[in-house]
Amino acid sequence: MFKVAIINCVYPPEPVVSAQMGRDLAEHLAQNGARVTVLCPFPTRPFGAVYQGTGEREQESEIRGQGSADSKQGSEDGRLRYEVETTPSQGGQPASLRSLNYAEPRRSAGFVTKSKLRRAKDVGYPNLQVVHLPSFTAPESRLLPRMWESFSFGWHVCRYLKQHLTDIDVVYANTWPLFSQAMIARYCNRRGIPLILHIQDIYPESLMGKLPSFLRSMTASLLITLDRWTVRQVMQIVVISENMRKIYLTGRGLAPEKVVVIPNWTDENRFACLPERKDACVQYGIPEENFTFLYLGNIGPVAGVEELIKAFHATRLKQAQLVIAGDGSVKETCVDLVERIGCNGIKFVSPVNVENAPLIQSMAHVCLLPLRKGAGMSSIPSKLPAYMFSAKPILATVDAESDTARFIMEAQCGWVGEPENVEWLSKKMTEITTIPADVLSEMGAKGREYGLKHFSKAQGVRRLGDVVEGMGRQRDRGQAEGAVSRKQGTGGKGRRADIGRLCCEDGTTPSQGSRIPYPMREGRFLPPRSPRKKEFEQKVAKVTKAGNLG
């Protein structure tokens, strides 16, 4: 049984696609016999969400799980049970900043305490545990707090790995960009632990729009250098689109065999029986007779929801409505915009449970997918597979060269326009309301067929699981051959000679840019020695040899 550490910056009950994917992977590996430990922060996403049982000064808590039926087998009430520990904050210093000893939590009645969810075992998988780390969290989209969140989580992860998971075989990380990624990559590299890094968005390119113009050039150069260094320490890179892969091959100089494309998936079983539109309209108080445009997802700075509101208001349609379902840091701005322009045909639905996505999307005649310019070039919105599974046509305003635009055009399930073009979007909305219902249904059916073929959970989790398990099998094979070598007294040359076969399935040695061909000693990948250290060792060996001859 090989041991896997899954590092996820979000995890259920947070209704985020990366959180669901992390749990799917953990359960898949646990079912296949691996011992899985998940490291994640306290749940805080999306902005404004409140989760019971994670507050301060609590000794016990229970958070209702939203997992599959398999993940709840063996429990009476389908809950995830958590063991909570409290650690004091000394001298007014936040607990997330000081040196924490996770093995020996300290308690003191004279200090302000901070709850720490230590271990959470899903009773259906005895070989799967979830550890919540008390790192700093920043659910609101603000630059400096988000940077500190990334650093804090990376620090806590490395600390916990050092204290509790020294014998881990492989690490999979889907974590905050730049600082957290760099810290975890450095830790794994120095200790010879294979690391698989799952990248959801390209940084710092995605960050440049949030910086003042006078800082962009200097900051971009520094952060790209950091990201290039990080990815070269990693054993395997997983990206979600072909455009992202091209950026890492050309812009970061990685070897092609090091970067694999696995699109984000959505559980297609949730959309097996699509709800009736009438039931959804009644439940959410939406007029059934009106033609409905729907946006479901995070209302954030790159979503472009403000353009949707302006475009719909410009249509002046009387028998149509725009439904915006979700929460986010820009929601209040959007609500104020609707009140200011006085558009009665726009409805907001919140809070939104991710499990109700099929029901909410059933209200729509057409689903909307807007993005700011450039935002779709390096990622694929998680709402795209969900829209396709609901068999709804998609009206998207994304970059024409993006993977999102390519998928929609290949599936023939919608329309693609220029981002932030309110005039084009308004005219297209007006045109769509005149299209017959059977034509719209046919487009939606094509999208569902395409989505099941490319974005299903069964296919995605199997491919990602094969990457992790393959790395674990290589490690197990290295440990077994190391034990045989020690027993036979063959020394280290035989193990070093097998490095190419141990690292590559086809028996080839990876290129230097992939940073994979480390020597193995007792099943651990060891980073190459520095030139100074190697020169020092040669001098010591020469002096020792001269002394022996004398």
Per-residue pLDDT of 225-257, as tens digits, reads 999 999 999 999 999 988 899 989 998 989 999
Query: Which residues have CB under 8 Å from 424's CB, separation 6+?
Result: 397, 417, 418
The per-residue pLDDT of the chain, averaged, comes to 78
* Total-model pTM: 0.71
Predicted confidence at residue 473, as pLDDT, reads 73
Predicted confidence at residue 53, as pLDDT, reads 58
- Of the candidates 489, 495, 547, the one whose C-alpha atom is nearest the C-alpha of residue 521 is 495
Collapsed DSSP state (helix, strand, coil) of residue 131: strand
Predicted confidence at residue 24, as pLDDT, reads 94
Measured distance CA(478)–CA(116) in Å, rounded: 36
- Of the candidates 379, 416, 423, the one whose C-alpha atom is nearest the C-alpha of residue 398 is 416
Which of the four pLDDT bands, split at 50, 70 and 90, describes residue 328?
Answer: confident
The domains located in the chain, with CATH, are 3-52+123-261 (3.40.50.2000), 269-448 (3.40.50.2000), 458-534 (no CATH)
Per-residue pLDDT reduced to its tens digit, 175-205: 999 999 999 999 999 999 999 999 998 888 7
Identify whether the C-beta of residue 235 lies closer than 8 Å to the C-beta of residue 190: no
Predicted confidence at residue 393, as pLDDT, reads 96
Report residue 41 as tokens: 């922060």
Predicted confidence at residue 238, as pLDDT, reads 96
Query: What sign results for the dihedral spanned by CA atoms 204, 21, 261, 447?
Result: negative
Report residue 166 as tokens: 């020294």
Strands 394-397 and 414-417, bridge-based pairing: parallel
Per-residue pLDDT reduced to its tens digit, 77-122: 333 333 333 333 333 333 333 334 444 333 322 222 233 444 554 4
Higher-scoring residue by pLDDT: 455, 474: 455
Please, is 264 exposed, middle or buried when counting C-beta atoms within 10 Å of its C-beta (0-12, 13-18, 19+)? Answer: buried
What Cα–Cα distance (Å) separates residue 369 from each residue in 408, 437, 492, 523? Answer: 11, 20, 56, 47
Collapsed DSSP state (helix, strand, coil) of residue 522: coil
HSE-up of residue 53 (Cα within 13 Å, Cβ side)? 17
Predicted confidence at residue 416, as pLDDT, reads 96
Query: Is residue 46 over pLDDT 80?
Result: no
Which of the four pLDDT bands, split at 50, 70 and 90, describes residue 219?
Answer: confident
Please, is 401 exposed, middle or buried when counting C-beta atoms within 10 Å of its C-beta (0-12, 13-18, 19+)? Answer: exposed
HSE-up of residue 313 (Cα within 13 Å, Cβ side)? 18
HSE-up of residue 112 (Cα within 13 Å, Cβ side)? 9
Q: Which residue has the tokens 């149509």?
A: 320
Q: Is 326 left (phi over 0), alpha (psi -120 to 50) or beta?
A: left
Q: Report the percentage of the chain scoring pLDDT > 90.
A: 49
Average pLDDT over residues 449-475: 89
Q: Is 340 left (phi over 0), alpha (psi -120 to 50) or beta?
A: alpha
Measured distance CA(407)–CA(369) in Å, rounded: 13
Strands 113-121 and 79-88, bridge-based pairing: antiparallel
Predicted confidence at residue 39, as pLDDT, reads 96
Query: Which residues have CB under 8 Å from 503's CB, separation 6+?
Result: 474, 509, 510, 516, 517
Measured distance CA(107)–CA(102) in Å, rounded: 12
Measured distance CA(227)–CA(179) in Å, rounded: 9
Q: Which residue has the tokens 């919140």?
A: 350
Predicted confidence at residue 140, as pLDDT, reads 82
Predicted confidence at residue 499, as pLDDT, reads 36
Report residue 479 as tokens: 């440990």
Report residue 84 as tokens: 């909570």
Instruction: Give the containing element (helix H, strand E) for 514.
Output: none
Measured distance CA(111)–CA(59) in Å, rounded: 16
Strands 291-296 and 394-397, bridge-based pairing: unpaired
